[in-house]
Structure 1
Amino acid sequence: MAVLQGTGSRRRIRREHAMAAGCAMVMCTAVAAPAATGGGRTPAKPTIVLVHGAFADASSWNGVVERLEHRGYTVIAPANPLRGLYNDSTYIASVLDSVKGPIVLAGHSYGGAVISSAAAGNPRVKSLVYVSALMPDVGESGISLGARFPSELGTATRSVPYRAGGGAVGTDLYLKPDRLHQVFAADLPESTARVLAVTQRPVATTAFSEKAKVAAWKHIPSWFLVAKQDKTVNPDQERFEAKRAGSHTVEIDSSHVAMISHPEAVTDLVLRAATAAD
């Protein structure tokens, strides 16, 4: 009887050892698999933040927003205050602070100057995208860049004084309704240009006169879309800025508002920047 009990014990021990060995193999396989696949996790897609420029609002990005969301990206298109470079970039920086995870930051026109300042010192901004945009270096302004690369914008605006709370006063710039189609949106239907003229948001002159204090594109990879038919920002200025920054650059036959008239091309460029940021 004692012999039988000993044999059973040895059999149980062998079975337990075999089960333990099998479990160990499974555990080793489970631990080893993630290491071979980079942790087994799909990297989170960056949030894409789209900043509009002067004379426009966030709806100018609608076509791009729809396409990016269709591809599974979270998109934010905040209202750019258009009150001055320092004010606007501080505000957009606060919007970025509310975003968790990596960010791709895009700016159109004057919005390019804003993102160049707003992204400075934010390690979560992985890529910058400029669409027919201003891209000033430290000490430069929209006015100083425009003086080097003249465009038709200077003859297409009108000045209107404004008053704000606390006794603040300033001057707003509007596009002249009869010039908006030619200078701003020549490749859109005239009926659309008339609506843009009526709904345009004015920009304070300080947006173009204040000099940039930082230039985030010196430290963050950038992509640039040059609009070859742009009459608001000289295409040669866009090429100069993109070359200076070492931006990944594409050129298309577009007016100043490429994100409205060519949303697919703009979306493609943003996606390139987003893929690089993954």
Structure 2
Amino acid sequence: MNHRSRRLLATAATIAAAVCVLPVAALADTAGKAPKQKPTVILEHGAFADGSSWNDVVAGLRRDGYPVIAAANPLRGVASDAAALRGLIEHVDGPVILVGHSYGGSVISAAGTGNSKVKALVYVAAFLPEADESALGLSTKFPGSTLPGTLEPVGTDLYIRQNAFHRQFAADVPARKAALMAASQRPVAKAALEEKSTAPAWREKPSWDIVTTKDLNIPVAAQRFMAERAGAHIIEVAASHSVAVSRPGVVVNVIESADRATR
């Protein structure tokens, strides 16, 4: 073998060695640095809504790699609804972020207390009750809610009259979509809005709160009072009570911010 042939063979061997070694080195650099598991986001709807109210929020979170569950809130009472949510939390592997809209805020406040799997709470135009407070009492603590005049009792349940739903609940949602929401709304037991809450999870968990300044259900003054009392990270949005439908991107961003802040 002449000198030129030996040199070509040596060069080929060097290249082959580099091809073999580089991936191993890259693997060594990342050893023990596997990305942390993203928390499961559990979305708890409130009164006069259902799981579909989170559809665009679910789509945004899933696009960013989050496992998501839009829970079915029974809307029967804070204690029983929280028990149902706790059962779902226990069924999920790994950490959880609880997100509650409206009355769903009362439910996540109760369900998250003392639960080590819950890493953060996100309130969306929601109630953040203290112990012995009710949704009804908090919504009437400050003036501004026009909800009582739109309610239609059916037995022990309450609905929003369909012809009042758009303006009352979803003024910044297109009329056709708001009509579908009105037709598919879930009624809440009147007793659920009057039931007193227990010790809230926001006393022990970091919390974020989207305050809706165009809200006709929960007055903005009531929302600010509750958020400030809880020491929540406050994000104000000029939106109706149905901010998860009208501004889903805002909700997604706040949830993901809560995740990043608690890693």
- TM-score norm. by structure 2 comes to 0.87
1:152 corresponds to which residue?
146
For 2:56 and 2:102, the matched residues in 1 are separated by 17
Per-residue CA distance 1:20-43 (angstroms, 9 max, x = gap): xxxxxxxxxx9xx78xx7932211
Segments of structure 1 that go 5 or more residues without pairing to the other structure are 1-29, 162-170
* Cα distance in 2, alignment partners of residues 43 and 252 from structure 1: 31
Q: Which amino acid aligns with 1:155?
A: G
Aligned ranges 1:8-157 → 2 under 5 Å:
39-150=32-143, 151-157=145-151
Q: Which runs of 4+ in 1 moved over 4 A?
A: none
| Partner deviation per Cα, 1:102-133 (whole Å, 9 max, x = no partner) | 11110001000000001111111000000000
CA separation in 2, counterparts of 1:182 and 1:266? 21
Render the CA deviation track for 1:212-270: whole Å, top value 9, x for unaligned: 01200000000000111000111111111110111111111100000000000111001
Tell me the SS of whatever aligns to 2:80. helix
What SS does the corresponding residue of 1:152 show, helix, strand or coil? coil
- Which one of the candidate residues 255, 261, 276 is aligned to 2:240? 255
Distance 1:206 1:146 in 2: 15
Aligned to 1:20: none
Please tell me whether residue 189 in structure 1 is matched to residue 174 in structure 2.
Answer: yes
CA distance in 1, matches of 2:176, 2:150: 19
Which structure has the greater CA radius of gyration? Answer: 1
8 Å CA contact 1:105–1:129 kept in 2: the answer is: yes
CA separation in 2, counterparts of 1:149 and 1:81? 27
For structure 2, the 5+ residue unaligned runs are 1-24
Displacement of 1:72:
0.5
Cα deviation for residue 176 of structure 1 reads: 1.1
Give the conservation status (yes or no) of the 8 Å contact 2:139–2:217. no
Q: Deviations over 1:81-117 (max 9, x none)?
A: 0111111011011110111111111000100000000
Distance in structure 2 (CA, Å) of the matches to 1:190 and 1:249? 29
SS of the residue 1:212 aligns to? coil
Structure 2 CA distance for partners of 1:245 and 1:38, relative to 1, 3 Å: farther
1:147 deviation in Å?
A: 2.3
Distance of 2:128 and 2:164 partners within structure 1 = 25
Q: Judge conservation of contact 2:47–2:187 (CA < 8 Å) in 1.
A: yes
Correspondence for 1:225: 210
- After superposition, the C-alpha distances for 1:139-174 in whole angstroms (9 at most, x for unaligned) are 10011112212411111111111xxxxxxxxx1000
The Cα shift of 1:192 comes to 1.6
Return the alpha-carbon distance in structure 1 between the equivalents of residues 228 and 32 of structure 2. 38
Secondary structure of the residue aligned to 1:174 is strand
In 2, the alpha carbon distance for the partners of 1:240 and 1:76 equals: 29
Match of 2:11 in 1: none
Within 1, Cα distance between the matches of 2:206 and 2:134? 21
Please report the RMSD computed on the Cα atoms of aligned residues, expressed in angstroms.
1.5
Structure 2 counterpart of 1:277 = 262
Letter in 2 for 1:89: A
1:61 Cα shift?
0.3
SS in 1 for 2:252: helix
